[in-house]
Structure 1
Amino acid sequence: MKRRAFLGAGAAGTLALAGCDAAAPAIEGGFTGIDVARGHAWRDGAGRSSAAPARTQQCEVLIAGGGIAGLAAARALRLQGIEDFALLELEDGAGGNARGGSVGGLACPLGAHYLPVPGDDAHEVQDLLEELGLRQRVAGRWVYDERHLCHSPQERLYFEGQWQEGLLPVHGVGEDTLAQYRLLARQVAALRRAQRFAIPAFRAPWTPELAALEARPFAQWLAQQGLDDPQLLWYLDYCCRDDYGAGIAHVSAWAGLHYFASRHGFHAPGDTQDEDGEREAVFTWPEGNGWLSARLAAPLGDRLRSAHAVTRITELRDGVQVDAWDARAQQTVRWQARRCIVALPAFIAARVVEGAPGWLQAAARHISYAPWLVANAHLRAPLQDRPGAAPSWDNVVFGTQGLGYVDAGHQRLDPSPQATVLSWYRPLGPSRWDGASAREGRQRLFDAPWTHWRDQMLAELSVPHPDLAEKITRMAITRYGHAMAIPTPGLRAHLPQPEEGRPGRLRAGRLAFAHADWSGYSIFEEAFTRGHLAAQAQA
């Protein structure tokens, strides 16, 4: 299994190798979604001078950070009848890496694009779905609104020159490969019987057996089990890069197994006990999880202060003082509040909280973040297709560095051919395909022009779709330098322990901390639950 030779080639060579016509129309595009200059200005000290703030404002509770954790905290405050709060967000809109956008007038995701139907451990998320009308109890059973569940077919893999259903390579693989699939299925099933796995993860007991798994790389554990088949390793590496932004050699064995054990298990082809399929039902929308973040942000009104970079959080004897740089007005605003919910990534929280507790500083030193890129390409017409499985919502090409593409038009009820948007995902964290560190990947993410990522997308996806370049009219690329915490081996030992009797809640005086970072990996359920619980701690 080798990196495809054309990856990273120049534009002319890439298009030639992809089989594109030299007369293909030019593709417009550029970077969008994240104000990189604003983020870097904050990093470099904008608004941190000793000059007096331009104005001072007051509220009962101040929320620093408008990702999913911050939005969940705002909702929970409102549910408690606390309306006197403000939420400060660096970007122009809330939602973090779960925002939506549009290209050519069509909605598309700028980040996370689905939410699995939550289990009973994520009851806060279940309550949100009920509030939004996505589930209701009928005749004593929960029924989900199928208009918002991913339509069939859900996923396919381009493997050995044709499309196959599902993402686990099966067509043409040998008996040795199938035997390893079955072995891993037995291993995961045995682990699920012996240990409890949950999402959010803090709702499962942390045992010595799980700690031993968390202390070593997933790749090492697989080797010890005799699992070395190239097709299986590719699939597992894909899964880890999809959820964690890094490959099997760089995430813990606990994280790699948690991916399966906490949800749908792992099922080998032909497994008669696989009643629900390899993947569970998921919610998705043309704009991805931006559908959710937009509805969480809508009730906030002017309590949501966008383009505000938090620069200092100071706990006082009778309250909290928070300074923020208003990027639009180019001035510092000082907020005085009774309490503050710090819904910021650990590395930012450790910088802005004055006298940051030791556990916060330790976590910030040990959490590594995966850089991430989403390229949304507007297509004027449907693509030609290769033989095999029909076009799906999630379409992956075997052996590539990208994670394939999702079709923002897949949820349409109108089957007639029409324009759509393809969203291509490219993690730049360390993996078996790329030995670069997360820091090096981040540097490459910001140094390369948008055309570099355009050419990589074309190189990968033109193999199954030779007409891709001539169908694209415009491309919008969103970059996340710190998209998600990577659950590296041994990380949990450096994360703070929850309050006794109150798992998932982290407090230090008048500060409550809420972010998926405190789970050691980043998914909607972890962020939302921690934000909800942090707001409850403010009561």
Structure 2
Amino acid sequence: MSLTRRDCLGWLGASAGAGLLGCQPAPSEVTGGFTGPDPARGHRWRDAALAQPAAQRRADVLVLGGGVSGLAAARALTMAGIDDFALLELEPEAGGNARAGRLGGLACPLGAHYLPVPSDDAPELQGWLEQIGLRQRVAGRWVYDERHLCHSPQERLFWNGGWQDGLLPLDGVAASTLEQYRRLSRLIDEARRAQRYAMPAVRLPVTDAVRALWAQSFAQWLDSHGLNDPQLRWYLDYACRDDYGAGAARVSAWAGIHYFASRHGFPAPGEEGEAEPLLTWPEGNAWLVQRLAAGLGERLRAGQGVLRVRPGREGVTVDSLSMADGRITRWQARAVVVALPVFIARRVIDPLPPVVATRAEGLPLAPWAVVNLLLQEAPKDRGGAHPGWDNVTYGSAGLGYVDASHQSLQRVAGPRVWTWYLPLGDEPQARQALLDLPWTHWRDRALAELSQPHPDLPALVREVAVTRYGHAMAMPAPGSLYEGPWHDDRLAFAHADWAGYSVFEEAFTRGHLAGQHIARRLRG
């Protein structure tokens, strides 16, 4: 479609203060559209739920869902010597929220785009990273392949008209702001001394203190400690939206504290060490899921939507719908790993196990939009910190952009892809908006925000790809703590929804444990 000056004014008018930036000439032609998961594909089960099967198959184990947890469960089954299994995935390829695309021949993420270097609390994940060559022991210490660690500079913030290093507003802030930063740092340290915080949280004990923190919002907890500084609260909202899809008012106090306490704490100004090491690739976490899926071969059956799951005395019956030809296959399995989001599991399992009903009750889900922009070259940069991998604008609704070319070992001018992330858990009717609004709406929102630090950006855009996630991730809302079991008779549940929040470490570990549980059950 053609971009006009009216389009450009629309982008800039959509963002506070952006009207002062002017508008650069737009390119004559920009292609674009939606990519990634197709909402219509996920809704086809409603029309096919009563149809009869056209074929029948058997397997010892079925894994339902090919996201991170399902792929990790399949790996665990293989490690346990169970090869007679099939993994059913609705989309044309596995990966869930961690898939990738290409624009102009350049790889770019369609969703999750990094993995913090895991701690010893995630031994299963550490072991797999060693297996695929990302880490090895050198002179008695574990080291990670530097080619895959995020290159410096890692992150920067557009604040007060220029770029600063790091995402916590520091340049020119008031003494009272700095004091609140230091107060929060002390509170996070106290929280870490009082109880364990770890990533993943699957093995952490649930104490009365944990329950109390899950019962209130992070915003309420901050208010109770007098932490009301606008710069601090913006940053904490950003952190919650980054991991949970919604701000501090909608996530639990436990989740807000866990974001920092399970990682590097909250260093006070002047006490910052090196940036948290993380692994990333031009295609984001698709680099990881592609390696998880690589050895599955024909056991990975993509384009198969799960219609019905019926546990019985002798095993489990599963009906799946082929997205290619509409044919239904009836599977008979001895056991099943349900690595589906809970809202889907609730619809397809009959009878509905109490554990699923309990987990699904009151578990909110955050929609997301991800916009990839192919640029003919990098826009002009403002003063201050140099371009980083993660580039965030203060006060924005989005999470900023990551530059897919940042991990390249060759710094050359020319085309590049920027990926802009917009969590929508705080916006009313956001899921419906993703279904109803054209791709140009999300393009316009991205350009409105990114034009603040880069006024010449619209003139450099050549192609746009918008990815929609109507049910992207569980939000750890107050009251959504789950303490029950994660398996029921012949079913083991492995999705990150059971944790109440969605990160790679949690999904991988829960998938691995579910696969191990099924393997032990079959052998016992």
Query: Which bracket does the TM-score occupy, shorter chain normalised?
Result: over 0.9
Distance 1:83 1:20 in 2: 59
Distance 1:192 1:221 in 2: 16
SS in 2 for 1:203: coil
2:522 corresponding residue in structure 1: none
SS in 1 for 2:507: helix
1:4 corresponding residue in structure 2: none
SS in 1 for 2:309: strand
Q: 2:303 aligns with which of 307, 315, 319?
A: 307
Distance 2:30 2:190 in 1: 51
Matched, 1:14 2:17: no
1:444 corresponding residue in structure 2: 433
2:290 aligned partner, one-letter code: A
Q: Can you list the C-alpha shifts for 1:491-530, whole angstroms capped at 9, x where unaligned?
A: 11xx2524xxxxxxx2211111111011110000111001
Q: Displacement of 1:23 after TM fit?
A: 4.5
2:506 corresponding residue in structure 1: 526
1:46 aligned partner, one-letter code: D
SS in 2 for 1:133: coil
Tell me, yes or no, if the aligned pair for 1:181 and 1:268 is still in contact at 8 Å.
yes
Q: Displacement of 1:418 after TM fit?
A: 2.4
1:457 corresponding residue in structure 2: 446
Q: Displacement of 1:329 after TM fit?
A: 1.4
Distance 2:164 2:407 in 1: 21
SS in 1 for 2:444: helix
Distance 1:416 1:175 in 2: 42
Distance 1:67 1:315 in 2: 22
Q: Quickly say closer, same or farther: Cα 1:185–1:496, change in 2 above 3 A.
A: closer
SS in 2 for 1:488: coil
Which TM-score applies when normalising by structure 2? 0.95
Q: Displacement of 1:538 after TM fit?
A: 1.2
1:514 corresponding residue in structure 2: 494
Q: Displacement of 1:11 after TM fit?
A: 5.4
1:46 corresponding residue in structure 2: 47
Q: Can you list the C-alpha shifts for 1:188-218, whole angstroms capped at 9, x where unaligned?
A: 0111111111111122222211211111010
Distance 1:166 1:451 in 2: 31
SS in 2 for 1:211: helix
Distance 1:407 1:211 in 2: 39
Q: Displacement of 1:12 after TM fit?
A: 3.8
Distance 1:52 1:400 in 2: 50
1:234 aligned partner, one-letter code: W
- 1:171-320 residue pairs with structure 2 within 5 A? 171-271=171-271, 274-275=272-273, 277=274, 279-320=275-316
2:321 corresponding residue in structure 1: 325
Tell me, yes or no, if the aligned pair for 1:46 and 1:325 is still in contact at 8 Å.
no
Matched, 1:28 2:8: no
**Displacement over 6 Å in runs of 4+:** none
Distance 2:12 2:31 in 1: 16
Distance 1:536 1:319 in 2: 18
SS in 1 for 2:96: coil
Q: Can you list the C-alpha shifts for 1:78-134, whole angstroms capped at 9, x where unaligned?
A: 111111111101111101001111111100001000000001111111011001100
SS in 2 for 1:201: coil
Distance 2:43 2:54 in 1: 22
SS in 2 for 1:362: helix
1:340 corresponding residue in structure 2: 336
Tell me, yes or no, if the aligned pair for 1:496 and 1:518 is still in contact at 8 Å.
no
Distance 1:81 1:387 in 2: 57
- 1:356-371 residue pairs with structure 2 within 5 A? 356-371=352-367
Tell me, yes or no, if the aligned pair for 1:19 and 1:462 is still in contact at 8 Å.
no
Distance 1:155 1:64 in 2: 37
1:148 corresponding residue in structure 2: 148
Distance 1:88 1:24 in 2: 43
Distance 1:46 1:132 in 2: 42
Tell me, yes or no, if the aligned pair for 1:125 and 1:525 is still in contact at 8 Å.
yes
Tell me, yes or no, if the aligned pair for 2:355 and 2:488 is still in contact at 8 Å.
no
Matched, 1:470 2:459: yes
1:119 aligned partner, one-letter code: S
Distance 2:77 2:43 in 1: 31
Tell me, yes or no, if the aligned pair for 1:219 and 1:249 is still in contact at 8 Å.
yes
1:242 aligned partner, one-letter code: D
Matched, 1:99 2:99: yes
Q: Displacement of 1:293 after TM fit?
A: 0.5
Q: Can you list the C-alpha shifts for 1:450-490, whole angstroms capped at 9, x where unaligned?
A: 11111111110011111111111101010000100000001
Distance 1:298 1:85 in 2: 15
Percent of pairs identical after alignment? 59
2:158 corresponding residue in structure 1: 158
Tell me, yes or no, if the aligned pair for 1:251 and 1:489 is still in contact at 8 Å.
yes
Moved more, 106-115 or 464-473: 464-473
2:109 aligned partner, one-letter code: P
1:392 corresponding residue in structure 2: 388
Tell me, yes or no, if the aligned pair for 1:386 and 1:464 is still in contact at 8 Å.
yes
- RMSD between aligned residues: 1.3
SS in 2 for 1:202: coil
1:482 corresponding residue in structure 2: 471
Distance 2:11 2:463 in 1: 18
Tell me, yes or no, if the aligned pair for 1:369 and 1:482 is still in contact at 8 Å.
yes
Distance 1:130 1:52 in 2: 45
1:507 aligned partner, one-letter code: H
1:502 corresponding residue in structure 2: none
1:76 corresponding residue in structure 2: 76
SS in 2 for 1:444: helix
SS in 1 for 2:466: strand
Which TM-score applies when normalising by structure 1? 0.92
Distance 1:348 1:315 in 2: 16
Q: Displacement of 1:40 after TM fit?
A: 2.2
Tell me, yes or no, if the aligned pair for 2:9 and 2:23 is still in contact at 8 Å.
no
2:484 corresponding residue in structure 1: 497
1:406 aligned partner, one-letter code: V
Tell me, yes or no, if the aligned pair for 1:25 and 1:470 is still in contact at 8 Å.
no
Distance 2:475 2:349 in 1: 23
2:510 aligned partner, one-letter code: R
1:497 aligned partner, one-letter code: G
Q: Displacement of 1:161 after TM fit?
A: 0.2
1:27 aligned partner, one-letter code: V
Q: Displacement of 1:10 after TM fit?
A: 6.5
1:536 corresponding residue in structure 2: 516
SS in 2 for 1:231: helix
1:14 aligned partner, one-letter code: W
Distance 1:300 1:257 in 2: 38
